Amino acid sequence: MRAVVLVGGEGTRLRPLTLTTPKQMLPIVEQPMIERVLGQLARHGIEEAVLSLGYRPDAFINAYPGGTIAGVRLSYAVEPSPLDTAGAIRFAAEQGAVDDTFLVVNGDVLTDADISAVIDFHRQRGAEATIGLTPVDDPSAFGVVPTDEQGKVTAFIEKPPRDEAPTNLINAGIYVLEPSVLGRIRRDVRVSIERETFPTLVAAGTLFAVGSDAYWLDTGTPDAYLRAHRDLLLGRRSGPPHPDAELDPSIGPGVWRIGAVDVGTESVVRSLFGRGASVAPGASVEDSVIGQDAVIEESASVVGSVLLPGARVASKARVEGSVIGPGAIVGQRCIIHALSVIGAGAVTASGTVIDGERVAAAV
């Protein structure tokens, strides 16, 4: 089976990081998000995928000149203008000459869902389309999908009030579609699969859905982006946090490293250091990912945060619950906290306090 992977969005909720890098090319524990998504598909037998591109398509094409990710062969469909979810699916499927049952996934969702089980369920029900579902505590920000006892979808309710949602099972961004669905989508215009295509399939009685309580995370916000790292660090997903990571208790309890690192402090717990990262004496690091060649200077503190490759935290600065972009510099005695995001190459002046802000340049 082939897949269409939707990666065309601008990632506005993760700006300023996405001003320079598409969201799906941002690293999750030192590995681009798109590689983690395609790796999950490969584990379920997907050998070919069409990347539906829109925003900064060259970033994907240039990063994988061999045309494969995680062993999955790639083709590219670059939208001439934004087509929304369903429009993008039709455009990508036609560009990739998809003419049989196919899979669709959102490229910004990380999941351990059993995709093979969703495909099997689709075939058993003789469905025209099948949605993978996941439970959430608060369904009001998602598309809620009630079903009957056979798994046939009875309604598709987009973002209902929390106390009015008929179920907590939401659209997980995993679809198995028959080619006939493409004929229900208007060509070359913006079409929402949630607001237009799915309701049409509900009326036809050909839309099914199946739930799973496997790990699932939409990475589109700073909080979720940090959680994606934390979940891997703390073992909430199976396997090591990175394919090349080694657990190194000589650095500290629960500490991982990739290749050679220079950690000159004993105050390190439950963290990962990318190749070439360095930490000066007197600094402390906790529950954080320190990217390749990132630097933490003496007496600085990094807690519950992500430093992307080449970032630098100067002496006596404190970073808590925030993301520091590639090559960014946190000045001496700065305080960065409360889900702040510092963009690529940005510089914060000494003593600056950043409280839940997005910083794209020098401040």
Residue with tokens 């269409």: 4
The fold adopted by the segment(s) 224-359 is UDP N-Acetylglucosamine Acyltransferase; domain 1 (2.160.10)
Do 127 and 207 contact (CB within 8 A), yes or no? yes
pLDDT of residue 212: 94
Mean pLDDT within 339-357: 96
| pLDDT tens by residue, 301-342 | 999 999 999 999 999 999 999 999 999 999 999 999 999 999
- Measure Cα distances from 38 to 11, 46, 150 in Å: 19, 9, 30
| pLDDT tens by residue, 39-76 | 999 999 999 999 999 999 999 999 998 999 999 999 99
pLDDT of residue 323: 98
pLDDT of residue 342: 98
Q: Where are the domains of the chain?
A: 2-220, 224-359
Do 68 and 48 contact (CB within 8 A), yes or no? no
Beta bridge partners of 3: 49, 103
pLDDT of residue 34: 97
The C-alpha atoms of residue 51 and residue 75 are separated, in whole angstroms, by 6
Does residue 362 surpass a pLDDT of 80? no
| SS3 category, 29 | coil
* CATH architecture, range 2-220: Alpha-Beta Complex (3.90)
DSSP designation for 27: B
Amino acid at 86: A
pLDDT of residue 163: 85
The C-alpha atoms of residue 317 and residue 350 are separated, in whole angstroms, by 9
The C-alpha atoms of residue 22 and residue 89 are separated, in whole angstroms, by 19
Judge if 2-220 and 224-359 fold alike in CATH terms: no
